[in-house]
Structure 1
């Protein structure tokens, strides 16, 4: 709901546009961004897969531009599509990407897009490097930021050599971010138990494997943390938040299903220092794993865009990262304030199966508060109910097959944390 104690006023003459390239209609992050700025009176627009995307039914959306992209299109075609939407809106508009493809497209085509849109200016090649598992690992090594040990085999022979010397289990992931553009080597984070398992899987990956083989951080010895922030042109944080992930879906490996805001100054400093060193500007969504064995926070993922669970985080002045970006890009001051520690975020359609899976595994998060100071639901909002019901209609269609697949996956267990 809108807050009555806002310490700022947004520029209502500058709209926002939710930009997505991949096909994932049940995206609560986009709905959250529409509500966050829409409640301030900012006109909101969104790229959607079809008319029945939940975001298209938000009361705060001025218009949905139905544009079912897949990530296989040529960049020039995507840029022209964005410019066409910009012409229809008819005034400078803040771009809010919700996936890596969109964030990279904007960064690599800043000059073409600058006349129609507002967005943080960043080194054109940096978002692609950060979204790549290999690029991120190399930046972590370069700047002394802990990350899981990793190998990037270029052939089956190199995989055989790795298998002969590696300590198992290990985790296999796709090396590059944009696996939707071609058939991915692995279907997500995959735990590999031993050398025989690895050598049995590797022939499926082709002559150029395209995978990262990464140290496995055992969940019983680790905690999942998240950082969301917005950085200005000098790579200084105008808003920075820390929290702990309680549950994800798939279990221990997927998107956040349940999380809490938890103050962590050490983690905040680590994130701010790294982003300052690499010179990044804009919104970030970071996933880190605290390894109790060596007491280090290890950076797993750097998403150079808004995270789906960003509405978990808001400071006492009413600022979240999307509001911070809009205020900053429209020349307004971003009010400071403490984060609302103890606040909880729940994604209704995936938290129940995640809860069942986590209870079976016995995993708990030590830093999660015993009781939430408040709860933000991803889908259901008293002032904007249609996205929730649209989500439910799509979630259970056709029949109960989607719910059944979730249940079966939780029964079997799934890949460990990324």
Structure 2
């Protein structure tokens, strides 16, 4: 692969989530090609910080709620220390939005896709995404955006339960979220009880519930160039997620879906986005439509599931394109499997209890990519395990507690 080894990559993340397999995957993906890799980390003993493919970890604890000017200044300091133009690889919405909204300040030090400055923030917002879907004819779950408790009361009188509550904006998870992730609400009484805690201006979206027995979870990862043309496009099916049915991918397969790829390419072209995308869609068997749930304007944590025959994934496509190299074309590796070791076992137990299966799982995997373990880079998996089981760690208890529930958070 004709990669420019003179241009480093920098993994950019804000907030405290040290067990992030996506960042480790990006470091390995480019590092294996000889690209010098750097990363923003919470401390010096995170899985990303100990990867053999990392040149240097820049320890910079953040919450994601800092003033943008402070975050931009911090990135520029890191850029000066690296000392040469560097490809930015955001791993969360905060980083992707910051880069888009401060392109002029960052352009001298960094390489990144140019995009309309306000677009990533709008895509990361549940309300902004819903409005874009309606504008461009993309199916999405029916949604209501209450502006007061009285508005919630009016909605509750006509709503068909269960409904789903989500935080309206992506960034509130770093501050004070109204709900803890996707919350299934079974009754009018449960909704009103929760709504009393949301304050005068509820920062939530109340969304149509798509029954899992009538639905399939699909994912699209792609890289789009400056003209919003796909240089790398992948589709897959999500077998399990954590928390169950409502969280990050724990187990997935590459499955060809030309209809879904065409839908995603058309939407991205119409909105004029450039860069890496990670889309979550649910196929509703009741009406035969793919409904867009999430549009992440950045690299997804499970991106290493997707690779084509020449070895291109979306992070490699990003680096190749931004350094003026051609992105090799090829068929995606159908049947390839991705497993996140620390969350797939509890997810498996929860899914067995729920009885959920997807009809699109291949009979045999053509290959397996593990999120943490790699023979050529063992230390990240060892550090992940050490942080997982260390005294006082809450992670294992949280896994057990969610597995016992067998689903995402719920209110009756």
Q: Same fold (TM over 0.5)?
A: yes
For 1:193-240, what per-residue CA distance to the aligned partner results, in whole angstroms no more than 9, with x for missing partners?
111111111110000001000000000000000000000011000000
Alignment partner, residue 136 of structure 1: 129
Mapped pair 1:161 → 2:157: no
From 66, 90, 99, the equivalent of 1:97 is 90
Shift, 1:22, TM fit: 1.8
Matches within 5 A, 1:38-77: 38-77=31-70
CA distance, structure 2, for counterparts of residue 209 and residue 174 of structure 1: 9
CA distance, structure 2, for counterparts of residue 278 and residue 364 of structure 1: 34
Mapped pair 1:228 → 2:221: yes
CA distance, structure 1, for counterparts of residue 393 and residue 401 of structure 2: 12
Shift, 1:97, TM fit: 0.1
From 313, 332, 349, the equivalent of 1:356 is 349
Matches within 5 A, 1:7-406: 8-398=1-391, 401-406=394-399
TM-score (norm 1): 0.97
SS of the residue aligned with 1:136? helix
Shift, 1:363, TM fit: 0.5
CA distance, structure 2, for counterparts of residue 194 and residue 88 of structure 1: 55
Structure 2 residues not aligned, in runs of 5+: none
CA distance, structure 2, for counterparts of residue 180 and residue 292 of structure 1: 32
Q: CA RMSD in A?
A: 1.1
After TM superposition, the runs of 4+ consecutive aligned structure 1 residues lying more than 6 A away are none
Moved more, 124-133 or 189-198: 189-198
CA distance, structure 2, for counterparts of residue 290 and residue 91 of structure 1: 45
CA distance, structure 1, for counterparts of residue 394 and residue 173 of structure 2: 23
Contact residue 22 and residue 99 of structure 1 kept, 8 A: no
Shift, 1:182, TM fit: 2.5
CA distance, structure 1, for counterparts of residue 148 and residue 177 of structure 2: 16
Structure 1 residues not aligned, in runs of 5+: 1-7
Contact residue 241 and residue 268 of structure 1 kept, 8 A: yes
SS of the residue aligned with 2:123? helix
Q: How many residue pairs align between the two structures? A: 410
TM-score (norm 2): 0.98
Shift, 1:400, TM fit: 6.8
Contact residue 16 and residue 43 of structure 1 kept, 8 A: yes
Contact residue 22 and residue 180 of structure 1 kept, 8 A: no
Shift, 1:180, TM fit: 3.2
